[in-house]
């Protein structure tokens, strides 16, 4: 015999573990508040380290409860968009946009869908050479100057860990930014960060690959500065293919290994 259903649906208890209606409503409010905070950051041109209004001011401005506001701030903090400083002069401040934050989010979806490090390398082989070509075609004078400085630092740096990885990253991130495409730039940086965070590739690659990579960095830079987009693209593709071959020779199982969720 079936159980009678109460006529007042508000009396029906949610299954154990399910969030309450009040929590659902607060969650929706917190998303809206988080969206408004982000809008304010962008419209006001706030930069890394800039202080956001304190809790009392935000409660008044957004006309929401303390729980909803704090949930909104936690949400933005989890995405790496703000940081919460402690102490008397603490509170929310604008954080730097860090590709590692996006890499962590991407790693969850890649892990769940079964994406492998071979897939990750293949994506980088498509994206990064294109960014090198775009960098050569844009010919931004100030960025060309910065690229020369980056290459000079890399050529003078020792090849030992972790200096090599830091200088190699500086080169790749420089080229990525020079593409002038914010979407490609952030995705390219995030994929590189995800690969390194998940594999520790700087340590896994054999040391003998480093001088070859450094020389190719120099050749790629010369092609970019010279405005030869096709050559820059081809050299970057060759560089990444060699690194991938060395990586998979060193760690054969990595290619088919599921991308790790960074958490």
Q: Quick one: tokens of 156? A: 């003078």
48 and 149 inside one domain: no
233 and 203 inside one domain: yes
Q: Quick one: tokens of 246? A: 């060395």
89 and 215 inside one domain: no
What per-residue confidence (pLDDT) applies to 23? 53
Looking at 94, 119, 135, the residue that finishes a domain is: 94
31-60: average pLDDT: 92
CA 28 to chain centre: 26
**What percent of the chain shows pLDDT beyond 70?**
88
What per-residue confidence (pLDDT) applies to 9? 41
What per-residue confidence (pLDDT) applies to 92? 93
User: Is 14 inside a domain boundary?
Assistant: no
User: Is 90 inside a domain boundary?
Assistant: yes
What per-residue confidence (pLDDT) applies to 1? 40
Looking at 94, 125, 157, the residue that finishes a domain is: 94
115 and 244 inside one domain: yes
Quickly state the pLDDT bin for 21 (edges 50, 70, 90).
Answer: low
Tell me what the pLDDT averaged over the chain comes to. 87
Q: Which of 5-9, 105-109, 203-207 has the lowest mean pLDDT?
A: 5-9
108 and 52 inside one domain: no
**CATH for 179:** 1.20.120.530
Q: Quick one: tokens of 140? A: 């931004």
Question: Are 20 and 14 a contacting pair, CB within 8 Å?
Answer: yes
Quick one: three-class SS letters along 163-184?
A: HHHHHHHHHHHHHHHHCCCHHH
What per-residue confidence (pLDDT) applies to 25? 59
User: Is 2 inside a domain boundary?
Assistant: no
User: Is 172 inside a domain boundary?
Assistant: yes
78 and 150 inside one domain: no
68 and 111 inside one domain: no
Of 220 and 263, the structure prediction assigns the larger pLDDT to 220
90-107: average pLDDT: 90
User: Is 35 inside a domain boundary?
Assistant: yes
Looking at 94, 114, 140, the residue that finishes a domain is: 94
User: Total structural domains in the chain?
Assistant: 2
57 and 32 inside one domain: yes
Question: Which ranges of the chain does DSSP label H, i.e. alpha helix?
Answer: 21-43, 55-62, 66-78, 99-113, 117-138, 141-156, 163-178, 182-199, 201-204, 209-225, 229-250
Question: Are 138 and 180 a contacting pair, CB within 8 Å?
Answer: yes
Whether pLDDT at 15 is above 90:
no
Whether pLDDT at 10 is above 50:
no
> Residue 222's closest CA among 144, 124, 125?
144
User: Is 224 inside a domain boundary?
Assistant: yes
Cα(219)–Cα(215) distance, integer angstroms: 6
**What percent of the chain shows pLDDT beyond 90?**
65
pTM of the model as a whole: 0.79
> Residue 82's closest CA among 110, 136, 40, 126?
40
User: Is 107 inside a domain boundary?
Assistant: yes
Quick one: three-class SS letters along 131-160?
A: HHHHHHHHCCHHHHHHHHHHHHHHHHCCCC
215 and 184 inside one domain: yes
What per-residue confidence (pLDDT) applies to 206? 74
84 and 122 inside one domain: no
Range of the domain at 184: 99-256
Whether pLDDT at 31 is above 80:
yes
13-29: average pLDDT: 54
Whether pLDDT at 41 is above 90:
yes
97-123: average pLDDT: 93
172 and 55 inside one domain: no
Whether pLDDT at 136 is above 90:
yes
Residue 258's Cβ-count burial label (10 Å; 0-12, 13-18, 19+) is: middle
> Residue 53's closest CA among 43, 42, 40, 64?
40
Tell the residue number behind the tokens 């991407």, with chain if given: 106
**CATH for 51:** 1.10.10.10
Quickly state the pLDDT bin for 164 (edges 50, 70, 90).
Answer: confident
User: Is 8 inside a domain boundary?
Assistant: no
Question: Are 174 and 194 a contacting pair, CB within 8 Å?
Answer: no
Q: If you ran DSSP here, which 8-state letter would residue 91 be given?
A: E
Cα(55)–Cα(41) distance, integer angstroms: 16
89 and 32 inside one domain: yes
Cα(182)–Cα(126) distance, integer angstroms: 16
What per-residue confidence (pLDDT) applies to 204? 60
């Amino acid at each position: 015999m079936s159980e009678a259903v109460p006529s007042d649906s508000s009396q029906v208890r949610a299954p154990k573990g399910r969030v309450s209606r009040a929590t659902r409503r607060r969650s929706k409010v917190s998303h809206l508040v988080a969206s408004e905070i982000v809008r304010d950051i962008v419209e006001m041109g706030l930069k890394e380290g800039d202080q956001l209004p304190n809790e009392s001011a935000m409660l008044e401005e957004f006309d929401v409860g303390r729980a909803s506001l704090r949930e909104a701030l936690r949400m933005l903090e989890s995405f790496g968009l703000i940081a919460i400083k402690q102490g008397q002069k603490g509170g929310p401040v604008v954080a730097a946009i860090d590709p590692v934050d996006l890499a962590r989010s991407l790693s969850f979806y890649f892990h769940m869908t079964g994406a492998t490090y071979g897939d990750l390398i293949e994506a980088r082989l498509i994206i990064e050479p294109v960014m090198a070509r775009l960098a050569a075609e844009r010919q931004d004078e100030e960025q060309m100057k910065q690229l020369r400085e980056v290459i000079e630092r890399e050529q003078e740096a020792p090849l030992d860990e972790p200096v090599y990885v830091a200088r190699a990253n500086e080169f790749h991130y420089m080229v990525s930014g020079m593409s002038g495409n914010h979407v490609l730039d952030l995705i390219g940086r995030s994929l590189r960060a995800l690969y390194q965070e998940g594999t520790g590739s700087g340590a896994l690659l054999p040391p003998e690959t480093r001088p070859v990579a450094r020389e190719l960095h120099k050749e790629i830079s010369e092609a970019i500065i010279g405005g030869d987009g096709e050559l820059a693209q081809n050299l970057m593709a060759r560089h990444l293919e060699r690194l991938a071959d060395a990586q998979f020779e060193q760690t054969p199982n990595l290619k088919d290994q599921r991308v790790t969720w960074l958490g």
